[in-house]
Amino acid sequence: MVTDAGGGDTGGGPAEGDADRSRSGADVVDVVLRLIPDAAVVVDGSGQIVAANAGAESMFGYPRGGLRGVAVDVLVPDRFRSGHARHRATYASHPTQRPMGAAVELWATRLDGSEIPVDVSLAPLGEPGRPLTLASVRDLTGRRSEWESSARLAAIVASSDDAIVSMDLNATLTSWNPGAERLLGYPPEEILGRPVARLVPDRLRTEVEEQLAMVRGGMHLPTRDTQRLHQTGREVEVAESLSLIRDMAGNPIGISAVLRDITERKRAERELRRLLVDGQRRERWLGAISEVRLAMLGGGGLEQWLALLVQRLAELTDADAISVAVRDPDDDGHLDVIATHGPAAPRRGRLVTGEGSPEGRVLASGRSMAVNGPPGAGGGPGAGGDLGPALHVAVVTSHGSGGVLSVARLAGGPAFTSDETRMVESFGQQAGLALELDRAQEDREQLTLIGDRERIARDLHDHVIQRLFAVGMSLQAATHAVADPAAAERIGESIEELDATIRDVRSTIFSLALRPTERAETSPRARILEVASGAAAGLGFQPRLQFEGPVDTRVRATLIPDVVAVVREALSNAARHAHATQVEVRIAVHDDLVVTVTDDGTGMGDTTRSSGLSNMRARAEARGGTMTAGDVGKGSRPGTRIEWRVPLEDG
């Protein structure tokens, strides 16, 4: 007889021995069923449940004793029953102790028809004559939820674009997802079991060790930006988050790390930072240019303007040496250093610029030049010491390169960027503007001085010389009416004294019309004044002279002989043929050089003057100019005007 798990009678047997053995087997089954913590049923060779414990009845929803005599296939869902019968027959032919559910998803049907996931292990029980099988059944509903959560978590980790890795408490890598392989290049078989320090740049290892120690101690660390090493050795920009891994009991068992690729974000941040810095620098750049221009418009001098310019340029470029050198007006082979900034800059003074020096090459070409040497490397006095990257730009004026602006950094400093080059070139243009303004101020002062002298000379000519000349002519005419020889002689001496006085006054006029630094033999104005003074004797009066524009600065020495010859020929014609009482010579320098000689004489008349006119016309045409001559009025004394026009040689 076999008793159920509750000890109930299962029926009588044919013999007392058999009954004893049945009771003995039932006792064994009863003990086994009571000792098994899981739900358990005992099934005979025909597939009938002969015993079941309380756990099985509760799991499958049967009342007490309700499973005894039920076919075990009833507990299997319909879709698995055919397969289950085959598995049971196979097992019955070779009964062994084994977990039937190993690597197999098993389901069971409860009395109400609901299904639950289970795990079943089998063990043979009983005697050969009556084989029994003990089936231990475990409800996996709770575990299945855990497994599904774990599976979902594993799927998330496997499909994540981020690198998700874990390590034990000794910082040895224990897991490595596909995202980590994509980010850092290592396949799992090459990196698992290796220390995490393999992924850390040398300079960051101490920092990482400190962070791992804080995480082991239970501290929460915020996500931070850092760098990790790729398999190729290059550094990868990542955002890293470290967390402590604990077991079910709350004990720390490892550390997890999530790394996100932030290369593009860092690139965007650097670009934005560069744009912000460039924008701020551009504002400072424009502000400095405006400050320099306002200083030039507000007065002062060249050295003051350039001192402000190099100071502002040093602030913008962080240069260690800056200098501005301008052409020496008396020597094209030298530059004068007139503004410097920085302790390593060259001293102020003369700077020799050979053809091979950077300054000389920039001066000749007008193009900027970057060199790995200091300003003044061409051999100037006080050239900078241990300087490195340098930049030389032309100081551009309307007449070409007027000097060189040089900036340099100490050896080992960064080279000048293209933006910095453009900035320095713009300051070079401002330095050229300062030179132009300084020269314009000098010209204005000279023109003011010359204008004052010309006014004085004109007044002397118009009022003093003419009166003296008139007095002399009157005395000379009166000599014939004086009968007393002594008186006549005295009058003659007075006339000679008047002539000497006229010559002295003319000399004074000549001196007033010159610049302080001019020489009579090289100044166009002086040469023309000399010709006009010489023509006064033949004319009988002093011709009037008028100058317009920068005659002495724009008329080159090669053009002076032609101008002098034209003025001399025109005055000679007026004295010999026109019988004029007034002659005006006007020299104007604008886009062209124009020489105009006007008299109030008898006009062109016959052609006896054509040879002189032809000579003047030939001189004009030889220089690409023109010459015209004609009467300016009507009547018996129409007067003559000669206009001789040629282009200036400097264009």
Q: Give the residue with greater pLDDT, 194 vs 377.
A: 194
- pLDDT of 153 > 70? The answer is no
What Rg, from alpha-carbon coordinates, does the chain have?
59
Phi, psi torsion values for 371, nearest 5 degrees: -135, 160
> Measured between alpha carbons, how far is residue 445 from residues 14, 151, 161, 358 in Å?
151, 94, 77, 35
Distance (Å, whole) CA 651 – CA 649: 5
Decide: helix, strand or coil at residue 153.
helix
Measured between alpha carbons, how far is 177 from 166 in angstroms, rounded to an integer? 9
Q: How confident is the model at residue 1 (pLDDT cuts 50, 70, 90)?
A: very low
Higher pLDDT, 357 or 314: 314
Residue 344 per-residue DSSP state: T
| Mean pLDDT along residues 71-98 | 82
**Which is nearest to 595 in space by CA: 632, 637, 557, 626?**
626
Q: 3-state class of 105 per DSSP?
A: coil
Q: What is the pLDDT of residues 286-336, one digit of tens each?
A: 888 888 888 888 878 888 888 888 888 888 888 888 888 887 765 555 778
Tokens 């744009």, located at residue: 275
What's the pLDDT band for 127 if we cut at 50, 70, 90? low
Q: What pLDDT, on a 0 to 100 scale, did the predictor assign at position 645?
A: 94
Helix (H, G, I), strand (E, B) or coil at 261: strand
CA distances to 194, 237, 255 from 186, rounded to whole Å, are: 11, 16, 19
Share of the chain above pLDDT 90, in %: 17
CA distance linking residue 32 with residue 44, whole number of Å: 16
Kindly state the DSSP code that residue 48 receives in the 8-state scheme: B
Nearest 5 degrees, angle CA 616-CA 622-CA 627?
40
Distance, CA of 47 to CA of 74 (rounded, Å): 10
Residue 414 CA to residue 390 CA, distance in Å, equals 10
CA dist 411 and 430 (Å) reads: 28
Which tokens in the block code for residue 281?
């620098």
Q: Assign residue 624 a region: left if phi > 0, alpha if psi is -120 to 50, beta otherwise?
A: left
Task: Please give the backbone phi and psi of residue 298, each rounded to the nearest 5 degrees, phi first.
Answer: -85, 0
pTM for the full model?
A: 0.38
Confidence of residue 14 (pLDDT cuts 50, 70, 90): very low
Which residues have CB under 8 Å from 197's CB, separation 6+? 171, 205, 208
With contact defined as beta carbons under 8 Å apart, do 341 and 322 qualify? Answer: yes
pLDDT-derived band at 352, boundaries 50, 70, 90: low
Between the alpha carbon of residue 531 and those of residues 526, 544, 561, the distances in Å are 9, 12, 12
Mean pLDDT of 598-626: 80
Give the confidence band of 603 by pLDDT, cuts at 50, 70, 90. Answer: confident
- What's the gap between Cα 478 and its chain centre? 90
pLDDT at 332: 56
Band (93; pLDDT cuts 50, 70, 90): confident
For residue 540, which of 591, 621, 631, 601 has the smallest C-alpha distance?
Answer: 601
Q: Give the pairing of strands 544-548 and 583-589.
A: parallel
Q: Which residues contact 457 (CB under 8 A, 6 or more apart)?
A: 508, 509, 512, 513
Name the pLDDT band for 128 (thresholds 50, 70, 90): low
The model's confidence at residue 605, banded by pLDDT at 50, 70 and 90, is low
Residue 550: which pLDDT band, with cuts at 50, 70 and 90? confident
User: For residues 163 and 400, which has the higher predicted lDDT (pLDDT)?
Assistant: 163
Name residues whose C-beta falls within 8 Å of residue 150's C-beta, 6 or more positions apart in sequence.
Answer: none
pLDDT at position 415, please? 86
Beta bridge partners of 321: 408
Whether 226 and 238 have beta carbons less than 8 Å apart is answered as: yes
User: What Å distances lie between residue 258 and 163, 242, 312, 345, CA to CA?
Assistant: 6, 7, 49, 54
Tokens read off for 236: 């990868």
Is residue 97 classed exposed, middle or buried when 0-12, 13-18 and 19+ CB atoms within 10 A define those classes?
Answer: exposed
Residue 575, both tokens:
């004295």
Backbone angles phi, psi at 313, to 5 degrees: -65, -35
Position with higher pLDDT, 540 vs 237: 237
Region 587-603 average pLDDT: 89
Q: Is 500 exposed, middle or buried (0-12, 13-18, 19+ CB in 10 A)?
A: exposed
Q: Which two tokens stand for residue 77?
A: 């869902």
Cα–Cα distance between 434 and 326 in angstroms, integer?
A: 11
Instruction: Compute CA distances 198 → 190, 228, 293, 546, whole Å.
Output: 11, 9, 59, 92
Does residue 12 have a pLDDT over 60? no
Q: How far, in Å, CA of 162 to CA of 258, rounded?
A: 7
The mean pLDDT value of the chain amounts to: 79
Q: Which residue type occupies 304?
A: Q
643: its two tokens: 């206009």
Q: Provide the pLDDT confidence category of residue 225 given band limits of 50, 70 and 90.
A: very high
pLDDT confidence of 380, banded at 50, 70, 90? very low
